Chains A and B, each alone.
Chain A
Amino acid sequence: MGNIQILLRQHVGAPCAPIVKAGDEVKKGTLIATPTGLGANIFSSVYGVVEEVKEDRIIIKPDAEQKDEFVPIEEGSKLDMVKAAGVVGMGGAGFPTGVKLGTDLDGGYILINAAECEPGLKHNIMQIENECDKVIRGVKYCMEISNAAKAIFAIKKKNENAVKTLKEALKDEAAISIHLLPDIYPMGEERAVVRETLGIELEPTQLPAAAKSIVINVETLARVAEAIDERKPSFSKNLTVIGKIKGGNKPHVFMDVPVGTSVGDLIEMAGGLDGEPGEIVMGGPFTGKATTLDAPITKTTGGIIPTIEFPDLHGATMGVLVCACGGDETRMRDIATKMNSKVVSVARCKQAAEMKSGALKCERPGNCPGQVKNSMQFKKDKCEYIIIGNCSDCSNTVMGSAPKMGLKVFHQTDHIMRTIGHPLYRYLRVSKKVDQDI
């Protein structure tokens, strides 16, 4: 195992300030950095010695032998323990859970995001199948802390085993129900979860609290339960390694990986790279970004995906359709460059609303606003190819016009979908409505 690198920015908010120095001995659960504003505590994920404290990270040389015990957090109220444990949203957003749960929902809803919508990732569903009780305990704690009367699991119907397990586990829980989702992207977007489960369409600027609800990821709930039941600090992460890996493109799920472990180490644990990858994606196919072997994972890393090589377009002209559901313009341009194409036109989906932070949010996630105008722009700008990052519905709409105009369509996830053997995002063949009978 190589060195552990713990980034000081693991979540939404300002980077944390280190409270250790080079040479300090640390244990699993030793507090090593604290928030400077909005943020969450950061702990060592291993036994070892601090080798270096850099501006953006703390580097720890782990001991050869690693015990399971950890330094427990102090006892306190449930909310205090969640805060002290440094739990953050593990679905990818990384919002400090202690802050989120501090809202009084006044009899509202805890909405459990079990959509695991990024194709290829499996660790959330696997956790429901294997650690259902822990997740449900987490749900109950959250309901108690935030004064919610009800909780709803939002899970895709295709995950039959997980749904069955949940149904069994919830048979005596009148306050907790299951809402089945269709298998389209994006269903795990926070406001999509609210819309699907409660029928309330929120504005991009609104938080779920506006619908008297909190949306919380499956793994986060397990971490909440661990913090309260085991006084365990948040220093480990569940994730899926999948892709161009020796032994095939089956998913490798790793539970409780120490935060700070390098991408390279995880790929080795999964079997090692099967030849030179086109790129290595950290995160999901839609929202992930290219990474390197020596990059460390954080509390929000969900996937590591080495991909097949990119096609070579020999400098052909490319139009980029940016939306809120896929990569940002930088990521899209990155892929266009890796395909050896020349970006000559950039359009933005009509529903991609820009937030104050500069991030894009979809006004109606998963419901297309029409795309033909963008295709017309690309045609006008003489694009030969276009690359899109759109959701299932919008991709389908693009396919309704672009090919007829002679534009060749790539989806930003194509190379990943080919790598993991998943159908490409093009036409939509399934219904957005799903029968709720289990």
Chain B
Amino acid sequence: MSITAETCKEHAKDPAVLCCRAEAGITIGPENLEDPAIFDDLVDSGLLKLDGCLTIEEVLGAKLLKTCDSLSPLTADVVEGAKAPAAAEEVVEEVAPVAAPVNATTSVAGGMLKIHIGEGKDIDIQLPMGIGGGVAEVVEVPAAEGTAAVAAPVAAAPVAQEEKVIRSLTRKHFKVTEVKRGPETKFDGTVLYIREGIEEEAAASQKLVNSLKIDIITPENYHTYSETIMDVQPIATKEGDAEIGTGVTRVLDGVVMVVSGTDANGVQIGEFGSSEGYLDENIMWGRPGCPEKGEIFIKTEVIIKEGTNMERPGPLAAHTATDVITQEIREALKKLDESLVVDTEEFTQVRRPGKKKVVIVKEIMGQGAMHDNLILPVEPVGILGGKPNVDLGNVPVMTSPLEVLDGCIHALTCIGPASKEMSRHYWREPLVLETLHDEEVDLCGVLFVGSPQINAEKFYVSKRVGMMVEALDVDGAFVTTEGFGNNHIDFASHHEQIGMRGVPVVGMSFCAVQGALVVGNKYMTHMVDNNKSESGIENEVLGCNTLCHEDAIRALAMLKAAMAGEDVKKAEKKWNPNVKSTNIELIGNTRGAAVELVANEQSLPMSQKRKEKYD
């Protein structure tokens, strides 16, 4: 279909193909050109060959020498007066180490310094001295294709503002090298003893729990069958009266809690996409939400009342029963001598006035059937004190980045383990860490919003997100989600609500093949795909397609580009893993150090299930 002048601009470097028969002598305009968005399909089906085809920017305004039929690629021999491309740049993604900006103009008008760069490559713009009000701001435009337009506020920007420390959080690490059973729960050096018989008490604490079993899984017996993994949790506790997100947190290294289970009929909790099987075949080691290879698992296997595996109370009972054990370890951990601290981490929440202010919106599941999240328990990833976000109506709840990193989310995930964020994920949330530490941006908070079941409720909560983002007056926003499908409806709506307020927004989700977005709108222009799987699917390998460091840095680079008003190229029609590789390479080049990518399920021993169902 013919295109508009606006589309021509977007696709200036795409091939120029006639949409209809055009007669010799005409001046080629947008109305003569086919929409490049559909070329992939046409080329695939052999209807179109683009060899030697000129680009749209080259042919606009040129004269057609020969009457050509529809879908004729415009080549040099049928066009007179084609313009030379604006810059000698063949492949848009590829970046020359140094390229002089072309058509750069600057002007000062109405208190705004406007810099327009016709063709931008690896540009550093420094505005050192006092023009108007005095600026000390460095705007770095990451290498990217297309037009870059940077508007730096001049009069409004105050002189070099200092970072402001809001609060800090200390993590004291204690090492565990062995987990044993014994008469009481205690530490002996680096050996953790768990009281014998605690299982019965834990099970008895919950009406819906029939039984609970503890398995100590050491690296030697990773090749052990397990029921579906419902959660992976750090074992951590607060010192003194400190609240989540401040003060001191004690945490055990080398050991994690793992919740697993079925109902009394043997049906997996979350059957329909669950991670049961041999542990070493079903866990994507080292994902933020997963165990590290080498860690000991204290794994509970909770059997809940038949038929309650797909309702909220069932899984919650399994988690609560497990927390009876965790809590007893926490109590012992509180008493450990300071001399056993092996490592201390210090997190500070800093605000950076004058820098681009951003917010992270994290969509968490709240469909109320089984997937829920407890927000802000008393202990890190605890139960007590946490409010289920379903009961909160899934409305947005603002948290500090340090609360997130201190276990303010106890996640009760459901089906689709590859893309769900376990409790441990938040403890090590890469986007929060990356954004918090990036000195070019000012992270103002992390906004959690539940994803309700009903569309009307989805829009209810996303409108609140919009209002909140409006009130925050941010320059940019991230929206992340877990899972795929239904939750993409509110994910899209969050983009709309934020985007319509003129705030650039970058979305992060597992999409690839199986999780392709089911809805969209015009604000969904900056998306980062969390997929890691080889074939772009939900492969039921725990944590495989969750948000990792490599995703966080891409999202951050993209948001910076968006806030700088740069164009980000439209996604290709079909999922193409090379887009990610190219972006990663671009960022690596700009940083001067390659970005290491995490492994995917192909690094694991092949499970029977994967063999049969997926690979």
Contacts and interface: CB of A to CB of B under 8 A. Distances in A.
30 contacts: A350-B1, A350-B2, A367-B31, A368-B2, A368-B19, A369-B2, A369-B19, A369-B31, A370-B19, A370-B34, A370-B35, A370-B70, A372-B19, A372-B42, A372-B47, A372-B70, A372-B71, A376-B38, A393-B20, A394-B20, A396-B21, A396-B70, A397-B19, A397-B21, A400-B20, A401-B70, A401-B71, A404-B46, A404-B47, A431-B67
B69 interface: yes
Contacts of B69: 396, 400
Interface string B1-39: 110000000000000000111010000000100110010
A433 B20 contact: no
A432 interface: yes
A368 B21 contact: yes
B70 A400 contact: yes
Given A368-B2, A371-B20, A373-B35, 9 more contacts: A364-B31, A369-B19, A370-B70, A371-B70, A373-B38, A393-B21, A396-B21, A400-B21, A431-B23
B41 interface: yes
Contacts of B41: 376
Interface string A350-375: 10000000000000100111111100
A393 B70 CA distance: 10
Contacts of B46: 404
A405 B47 contact: yes
B45 interface: yes
A428 interface: yes
A370 B23 CA distance: 15
A405 B48 CA distance: 12
Interface in B63-86: 67, 69-71
A371 B19 CA distance: 8
Interface of B: 1-2, 19-21, 23, 31, 34-35, 38, 41-42, 45-47, 67, 69-71
Residue among B38, B42, B47, B70 with max Cβ neighbours from chain A (10 Å): B70
Contacts of A393: 20-21
B328 to A, nearest CB: 60
B31 A405 contact: no
B38 A369 contact: no
Contact residues on A (Cβ < 8 Å of other chain), bracket: 20 to 34
A81 B34 CA distance: 52
B22 to A, nearest CB: 9
Contacts of B71: 372, 400-401
Contacts of A372: 1, 19, 34, 38, 42, 47, 70-71
B45 A370 contact: no
Residue among B1, B31, B47, B69 with max Cβ neighbours from chain A (10 Å): B1
A428 B70 CA distance: 11
Contacts of B67: 431
B47 A370 contact: no
B20 A368 contact: yes
B83 to A, nearest CB: 23
B57 to A, nearest CB: 19
A376 B35 CA distance: 13
A265 B21 CA distance: 44
A370 B32 CA distance: 8
Contacts of A350: 1-2
A400 to B, nearest CB: 4
Given A350-B2, A397-B70, A401-B71, A369 B20 contact: yes
B72 to A, nearest CB: 9
A433 B21 CA distance: 13
A367 B26 CA distance: 13
Contacts, number: 66
Nearest to B21: A396
A433 B70 contact: no
B148 to A, nearest CB: 32
Interface in A383-422: 393-394, 396-397, 400-401, 404-405
Nearest to B46: A404
Contacts of A373: 1, 35, 38
Contacts of B42: 372
A394 B20 CA distance: 8
A401 B35 contact: no
A364 B21 CA distance: 15
A407 B411 CA distance: 52
A401 B21 contact: no
A20 to B, nearest CB: 53
Nearest to A432: B23
A431 B20 CA distance: 13
Contacts of B47: 372, 401, 404-405
Contacts of B70: 368, 370-372, 396-397, 400-401
Contacts of A401: 47, 70-71
B293 to A, nearest CB: 46
Nearest to A392: B21
A397 B2 CA distance: 12
A372 B1 CA distance: 7
A404 B49 CA distance: 14
Interface in A96-119: none
Contacts of B34: 370, 372
The 3 A-B pairs at the shortest CB distance, nearest first, are namely A370-B19, A400-B70, A368-B20
Contacts of A370: 1-2, 19-20, 34-35, 70
B500 to A, nearest CB: 26
Contacts of A433: 23
A152 B170 CA distance: 88
B34 to A, nearest CB: 5
Nearest to B71: A400
B206 to A, nearest CB: 52
B38 to A, nearest CB: 6
A367 B30 CA distance: 13
Given A370-B2, A396-B70, A400-B69, A428 B21 contact: yes
Contacts of A400: 20-21, 69-71
Contacts of A428: 21
A307 B69 CA distance: 32
Residue among A367, A400, A428 with max Cβ neighbours from chain B (10 Å): A400
A16 B1 CA distance: 43
Nearest to B45: A405
A400 B41 CA distance: 15
A58 to B, nearest CB: 48
Contacts of A369: 1-2, 19-20, 31
Nearest to A350: B1
Interface in A298-319: none
A396 B38 CA distance: 19
A401 B19 CA distance: 10
A371 B31 CA distance: 13
Residue among A367, A370, A428 with max Cβ neighbours from chain B (10 Å): A370
B100 to A, nearest CB: 39
Nearest to A428: B21
Contacts of B23: 431-433
Interface in A54-72: none
A260 B67 CA distance: 48
A312 B42 CA distance: 31
A35 B20 CA distance: 45
A400 B21 CA distance: 9
Nearest to A396: B21
A367 B20 CA distance: 8
Residue among A367, A368, A372, A401 with max Cβ neighbours from chain B (10 Å): A372
Nearest to A349: B1
Residue among A397, A404, A432 with max Cβ neighbours from chain B (10 Å): A397
B493 to A, nearest CB: 27
Contacts of B1: 350, 369-373
A369 B21 CA distance: 10
A350 B34 CA distance: 12
Interface string A205-247: 0000000000000000000000000000000000000000000
Nearest to B70: A400
Residue among B2, B20, B47, B67 with max Cβ neighbours from chain A (10 Å): B20
